[in-house]
Structure 1
């Protein structure tokens, strides 16, 4: 579909959703009324700022009946709950029609990456998200799936993968890296042809380790429970194709203005599919870089150049500059091979804590830490205190994800 046609489709769906939300969703009727907005005020995407954004905290404060359109029966709906990795879980309601559409969007993406309809796939994920039944294809005995708990040990996960021998493996970026780092090229015996990662930021060094260990091409996906599958990598790996026929993504600065392509912006999204529980201009709390480049693969969907991380994990220097968490990993340990993984915790502008999980004991640890500290201070400020904590294992959060950067600075940064 040509970009102009795709934009027209987005506009048509968005306008219909705005009117539907105003007429049928109590939460949006109140929010629009309080903002002095009526659906007739929206004439095009130039008017987006007239519609207030929505936060997870606002939705949490409402009852399901206030959020679900009145023309749907709550008891017949499917509940999708976020992982709560930020401490704020949220339940989103959909029906089977919306679920099927999200599945079709996912299938389109992975088929473009080289998955075949009948391929077997192992999925390493939070057991609370395991499906309760089988798909149509699985009931026919094809496209078999094996779900493996993220909380299983690496040894158990590897054993289950070897037993199942999938064509593709899908999992959290950190869980795939833990497996790859532990077993290396032994994972090639599993026989997977494709690897799909998501849920967390995957840096270049980790990508190389995972891809090499499995001996397979790795494709990263950008998604969220609230809005479904947002964007995906193709074989060209030139960015993430936005599923613009099912979601509208905006990239905004701190004043709510659209950033120019190539600039970092906080991501605000609208599902163009879910009319059961509409989410209009929903704050995803992520930071990403949009680009107006055209991918060489031939897919004309718009591109995200990179997903930088969560907005609340943006780091702040002593003089107030904001730094993407992707600055780390492997920096400041580029030439160190005995560190399994590390986590950066920013407690204030003047204090960083680096948790280090080592593979083995070393003799020159203090010398390496001093060099790393100098690098960090050169970036964050000479007055910054850098504390290193050596731990046996960096813990996962309750959803099974490994947060590699934690910032307590807030959106503006505290002193």
Structure 2
């Protein structure tokens, strides 16, 4: 079907059948024309704070002794005095965080996978879906929302969900690959369908998209190059990016998001950091006292969702680290830049003396080796020992690489822990995610 007809049907559906989404999309693009995005961002924080104080029992109590409880946020400095929201707060106060003036039809519940710590649950506000921000990111790359798209996830969607998805997006064609141990026949069928519809977007979890890229490379299979490949849900190794770009013949877009706040920042084609969605989320990089660190300095990340009025999330300490870049992108977007998030504070290898080896440091240590593996995972036991569990791509090179990684990790840990290696056919999953580190050190605390 010609693109003009597909675009016309899409425009009709959004303007006539879903006018609220159409207005949100227009408003999202208008936000980028604001003369001062920082001022706009602060106004949204002021409004969210007032809403939380008026309709969330949790925040009324949390901020009760602050002067802002009476005066409201008068300046950005006032905002810095608000104590952060922790994962423990979410787990222990779920019902009281929820706003008391929101109907059940206006939100839905989402839970984290527990890949880095004990799971938490939040509510997402249906009145402010992430779709307009998604379309903005696609627009960075020249992908139109009415163009054909392909998705690779770990598990197959339920039948009726697939039927409804097909109806909702018709005549746009969308195909899905469930990548949890797909058969050769299923992979061949997906490649056939893919080349038939020629999608402009391929999206999925980092690990499963990477596995599919290796399948194409190892079998010398060519596919129609999309405009971009969008990977989510885990840090992206540069070797993985390089191999995926080779397999798909297209650039790979890294993003930063999570279950709690889904679309926080994403790359543009310049690939010089991630553009923060400053009109929908407030991102802070802070020190141990929760005060701002200078630009280009690594700090804890605090997140504030500026659009979720069903379940306010204010200065949420998610457990990630990152840094703010003090220059604007050459692409011309007014959205500020942050570095790609390479690892999590909670994704650490620990030693008996208290030494912490962060996920981002492990990614740097393992640079140059990832191309020899289909998957890799570090499992730390309660006695501090670590097993490097791996699924090889090239058996000989993988064994050589994993021995070097074993030696590097032992040296980095000052030889305080025992590191062993294990070739396997599968690794530990946390729901749909494949965490780099699985720690059993504090299992009792997280249960």
TM-score range normalised by the length of the shorter chain: 0.7 to 0.9
Q: 2:386 aligns with which of 341, 352, 361?
A: 352
| Stretch moving more, 190-199 or 335-344 | 335-344
Instruction: Answer yes or no: is the 8 Å Cα contact 1:333–1:372 preserved in 2.
Output: no
TM-score computed with the length of structure 1 as normaliser:
0.85
Larger displacement relative to structure 2 (373-382 or 341-350): 341-350
1:404 corresponds to which of 436, 439, 444: 436
| Conserved 8 A contact 1:308-1:324 | no
Q: Determine whether 1:395 maps to 2:428.
A: yes
Cα pair 1:222 1:229 within 8 Å, conserved: yes
Matches of 1:243 and 1:2 in 2, distance apart?
13
In the alignment, which of 221, 224, 234 is matched to residue 255 of structure 2? 221
Cα distance, 1:314–1:359 mapped onto 2, change above 3 Å: same
SS at 1:266 equivalent:
strand
Say if 1:235 and 1:138 are closer, same or farther in 2 by CA, change over 3 A: farther
Equivalent-residue separation in structure 2 for 1:4 and 1:340 (angstroms): 47
The answer to whether structure 1 residue 160 and structure 2 residue 190 are counterparts is: yes
From 250, 271, 274, the counterpart of 2:284:
250
Whether contact under 8 Å (1:124, 1:171) holds in the other structure is yes
Segment drifting more, 163-172 vs 36-45: 36-45
Helix, strand or coil at the partner of 1:377 = helix
> What is the aligned counterpart of 1:204 among 233, 238, 245?
238
In structure 1, the residue matched to 2:83 is 52
Which runs of structure 2 are paired with 1:221-300 in the superposition (5 Å)? 221-300=255-334
The alignment partner of 1:327 has SS state of helix
Call closer, same or farther: CA 1:83–1:128 in 2, change over 3 Å.
farther
Query: Does residue 119 of structure 1 match 2:119?
Result: no
The answer on whether the counterparts of 1:3 and 1:301 sit within 8 Å (CA) in structure 2 is no
- Report if the CA contact (8 A) 2:266-2:275 is conserved: yes
Please report how far the alpha carbon of residue 108 of structure 1 lies from its aligned counterpart in structure 2 after TM superposition.
0.7
Secondary structure at 2:128's aligned position in 1? helix
Distance, in Å, in 2 between the alignment partners of 1:370 and 1:291 is 36
Q: 1:230 to 1:29 in 2, by over 3 A?
A: same
For residue 183 of structure 1, report the CA deviation from its aligned partner.
2.4
CA distance in 2 between partners of 1:2 and 1:263 (Å) = 29
Counterpart of 1:78 (choices 95, 102, 108) is: 108
Alignment of 1:145 onto 2:174: yes
Query: Would the alpha carbon gap of residues 103 and 239 (structure 1) be closer, same or farther in structure 2, given more than 3 Å must change?
Result: same
Number of equivalent positions:
404
Query: Could you list the runs of 5+ residues in structure 2 that have no partner in the other structure?
Result: 1-31, 443-447
Per the normalisation by structure 2, the TM-score is 0.79
Q: Within 1, Cα distance between the matches of 2:103 and 2:369?
A: 58
1:169 aligns with 2:202: yes
Structure 1 residue 341: deviation in Å? 3.3
Query: When you count strand as a share of all residues, which structure comes out higher?
Result: 1
User: Does the CA contact (< 8 Å) of 2:116 and 2:438 recur in 1?
Assistant: no
